[in-house]
Structure 1
Amino acid sequence: VGTIASLGKDGLEVQRRLLTDLGLAVPPISWHASRDTVAEYVSVLGLLSSTLGKMANEVITLQKTECGELEEPFKMGKVGSSTMPHKRNPMYSEGVVSLSKIIRSTVPLAIESMVTEHERDMRPWQAEWEYIGKVSNMTDAALTASIHIFTDLIVRPDNIERNLYMLKGLMLSEAVMMKMGQRIGRQEAHEIVYEAAMKAFEKGLPFKTVLLEDKRVLDNFNVDEIDAVLDPHNYTGSAGCFVDRVVGPSGKC
């Protein structure tokens, strides 16, 4: 605290020994004067909780009945609604999203507290006493809930497969355009595929059916080639590599 003038020439040694006993590193300056450490800590919590919130929000979206690709861990006794017994709501994920909103809302307050008057302005401390402990506990709660969610996350491959074909092939319009563009040029390919896609949308037809009705397509593709390019399993790109980069043991692919 301060200049440690009261301890004379032993001040720095007393500081070192005390912090060593506490398992802490020796800071370059007192925390009273240097506010960036506190702001950085809260900012990291804000970043962490926002990432958890994003992940949890994805579970909420993909657990919706009309999608049904993911689901929070479930066991008998977990109640989703007091009035609709069939409901299996993503309650843990909802909690994580709510916590993340509260946590990141404190980041501007922490940064605001960096601007103080001289070296020992007590005004920011009193605000920090109010929120630092709370956001620390909230982050712990969000982490605990997230570990529960993603350790036993329920994945429904059949629904994922079903959703791939929901647009009757239209999801692969880019693949068709890029393949056709290699033979007739990208701009002309875009125009042909656009027309076919809009027709398929308007009439509710399979994309393949509309493509096969267009002579310009048949002049450049046979049926087997169209089937191959409309297979979503053939158009995953580097998705697997990107997953390995993010969560793989080496971070490389």
Structure 2
Amino acid sequence: MAGYDYYKTPLDSRYSSEEMKKLFSQRSRHSTWRQLWLWLAEAEKELGLESITDEALEQMRSHLTVTDDDFKIAIEEERRRRHDVMGHVHAYGVVAPAAAGIIHAGATSCYVTDNTELILMRDAIDLLLPKLAKVIRAQMITVGKRAAEWIQELVMDLEDIEHVRQELRFRGGQGTTGTQASFLELFNGDEAKVDQLNVLLCEKAGFPSTYTRKVDLRISNAIAGLGATAQRITSDIRHLANLKELEEPFEKDQIGSSAMAYKRNPMRSERICSLGRKLASLPVNFSNTFSAQWLERSLDDSAIRRIDIPEMFLLADAILIGLDNVTNGLVVYPKRIDSRNKQELPFMITEAILMKIVSKGGSRQEAHEKVRVLSHEASHVVKHEESTGGDNDLIERIKKDEYFKDIWDEIDAMLDPKLYTGRSTTIVDRYCGKGGEVEKKLEPYREFISKAETAQLNL
């Protein structure tokens, strides 16, 4: 039961996927450190550094995954040295003794910390993008232009995240304060080899270069945009659920309220909205970290990055899991929508009535005043006289007013809701339908979408 005695982030225990949690685990992070040290040693040997032997490289390759025993050694060494990177350098040297003297040669701590964060962010984006594409594909396009707008905003998030993924830069091996002086010393002043070292490192890691803290801010802005979109979509769903026009998935044994047994709260949308609010707030931390770097760098970025980079991706992951689940099971109630349309339609056609009066030679201002008075009377009935029906009787009032006698015969034909949707159907079909912009945008993710099942919420 010891696991219940200490704080554990809900992103781990409740919301995010196993693959995202594993990616940002301590084992993943520190094993990536070892991979970076191996790439550095390989590149240095390829460029003629004779102190690095084949045996050293083989031992390093054989112990890329940090074991529980390795962690114990690293933690104990960090306690002694007050330095986490050197703790893991020591632990790696214990299991790869032939490499103990050359691990981290020429590098500074940022070589492993920053480059690891970049690798993890790249791989996290690669996990997010197909999930986001699936959410876009799952969105309903039959309930109106509003859902198409949700899709459009999610596509914008997809484009922003794709862009930062494409433009992601690697830090490489820059040495202390970024001068590369330590590597210049290793290669006896051969600048061409220092340049080639970074070319090799970037090739091995699969990146272009070069990185600054601005990269973190660009990524956070793109990912956080998804948080804002999630809030907007789920707020719409919550409002429509309150109007009983739409409902998110609701399981047979699900409880909507501990006190009010009848309730069917949109709990999933509420959760997504909350997670979205948290995600959307993160860029300020990255902005402050970037702007407050002292000259070449200061270490006040360390805690923020350790907390907020994983949290940013775990939040985005949890949001996409939730959106996938909700949008694949939304239920629409057309009769309820039709009922509300009938209630509001008399108000909606008043502009058309004014135009009819004008077309027959009447005064728009005079007609406007007549409609204003009658509308307020009808609104009073709707709001205050539910005991007598509470229906919107504006049309009946207009039909009884002699001022509107010339258009009485035309009013009923004006009550067709389709007259007021404009080109919405065409707009939605062109954007979301076959051969439309959305289909083209999702083409790179088609295989993933075709195989993926609807995401299930952890709790």
Compute the TM-score of the two structures, normalised by the length of structure 2: 0.49
- 2:206 maps to which residue? 23
In structure 2, C-alpha distance between the alignment counterparts of 1:175 and 1:251, rounded to whole Å: 34
Asked if 1:42 is matched to 2:215, the reply is: no
2:285 match: secondary structure:
helix
CA deviations over 1:130-173 (Å, ceiling 9, x no partner): 11211210111001100111112111111111111224722332
Consecutive unaligned residues of structure 1, counting only runs of 5 or more, are: none
In structure 2, relative to structure 1, the CA distance for the partners of 1:91 and 1:227 (3 Å cut) is: same
Listed one character per residue, the Cα deviations across residues 90-134 of structure 1 (whole Å, up to 9, x for unaligned) are 111011000011111112222222212112222234312211211
In the alignment, structure 1 residue 60 sits paired with structure 2 residue 238? yes
Specify which of 130, 140, 163 is matched with residue 317 of structure 2. 140
Q: Aligned to 1:169, what secondary structure does the other structure show? A: helix
Tell me, yes or no, if structure 1 residue 118 matches structure 2 residue 295: yes
1:193-230 deviations in Å (ceiling 9; x for gaps): 222212322345511111112223222x142x211222
| Aligned twin of 1:109 | 285
What is residue 131 of structure 1 aligned with on the other side?
A: 308
Deviation at 1:244, TM superposition (A): 4.1
Q: Does 1:234 align with 2:234?
A: no
Q: Which residue does the alignment assign to 1:69?
A: 245
Q: Which has the higher helix share?
A: 2
After superposition, the C-alpha distances for 1:38-57 in whole angstroms (9 at most, x for unaligned) are 11111112211111111111
Partner Cα distance (1:124, 1:179) in 2:
66
Structure 1 residues 20, 180: CA separation in 2 closer, same or farther (over 3 Å shift)? farther
Contact 1:56–1:94 under 8 Å retained in 2: yes
| Alpha-carbon offset, residue 30 of structure 1 | 3.1
- Aligned AA (1:38): D
Residues 215 and 11 of structure 1: is their aligned pair in 2 closer, same or farther, counting only changes over 3 Å?
farther
Q: For the Cα contact (< 8 Å) 1:181–1:187, is it kept in 2?
A: no
Q: Which amino acid aligns with 1:235?
A: Y
Deviations 1:24-81 (A, max 9, x none): 2x13x332xxx221111111122111111111111111112xx101111123122222
Which of 395, 398, 401 is equivalent to 1:211?
A: 398
Find the aligned partners of 2:251 and 2:205 in 1 and give their Cα distance.
Answer: 43
Instruction: Determine if contact 2:227/2:278 at 8 Å carries over to the other structure.
Output: no
What secondary structure, in the 3-state scheme, does the structure 2 residue paired with 1:119 have?
Answer: coil
**2-structure distance, mates of 1:131, 1:112:** 13
Match of 1:177 among 350, 354, 379: 354
Looking at structure 2, the residues matched to 171 and 108 of structure 1 have their Cα atoms a distance apart, in angstroms, of 43
Structure 2 residue aligned with 1:243: 428
Query: Matches of 1:10 and 1:181 in 2, distance apart?
Result: 83
The aligned counterpart of 2:342 is 165
User: Among the aligned pairs, what percent are the same residue?
Assistant: 28
SS at match of 1:76: coil
Deviation at 1:250, TM superposition (A): 1.9
Aligned in 2, Cα 1:37/1:161: closer, same or farther, shift over 3 Å? same
Q: Is the 8 A contact 1:56 1:96 kept in 2?
A: yes
Compare 188-197 and 175-184 and name the one that shifted more. 175-184
Between the aligned partners of 2:236 and 2:350, the Cα distance in structure 1 is 25
The secondary structure found in structure 1 opposite 2:290 is coil
Larger radius of gyration: 2
Question: What amino acid is the match of 2:373?
Answer: E
Amino acid at match of 1:131: D
Gap change, CA 1:236 and 1:4, over 3 Å in 2:
same
CA-atom RMSD, angstroms?
2.4
